[in-house]
């Protein structure tokens, strides 16, 4: 149970980061700033495919 809850939390935080990265990218485009990649390199955790940034 705790493992599933932890995996869900990590997954939710991963999605939240993706939304934040998209928002920053759109703001940079709007203001004409250089848009650098904010998406981290993804790796699978041994617990079942939840991603994390390196």
Res 13: pLDDT: 93
User: Distance between CA atoms of 7 and 4, rounded to whole angstroms?
Assistant: 5
User: Which residues span the domain enclosing 13?
Assistant: 2-53
Q: Give the model's confidence band at 20: pLDDT under 50 very low, under 70 low, under 90 confident, else very high.
A: very high
**Model confidence at 40: pLDDT above 80:** no
Structural domains counted in the chain: 1
**Of 14, 17, 22, 21, which is closest to residue 43 (Cα–Cα)?**
14
Higher pLDDT, 8 or 33: 8
């Amino acid at each position: 149970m705790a493992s599933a809850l932890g995996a869900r939390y990590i997954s939710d935080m991963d999605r939240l980061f993706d939304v934040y990265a998209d928002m920053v990218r759109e703001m940079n485009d709007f203001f004409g700033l250089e848009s650098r990649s904010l998406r981290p390199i993804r790796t699978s955790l041994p617990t079942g495919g939840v991603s994390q940034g390196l």
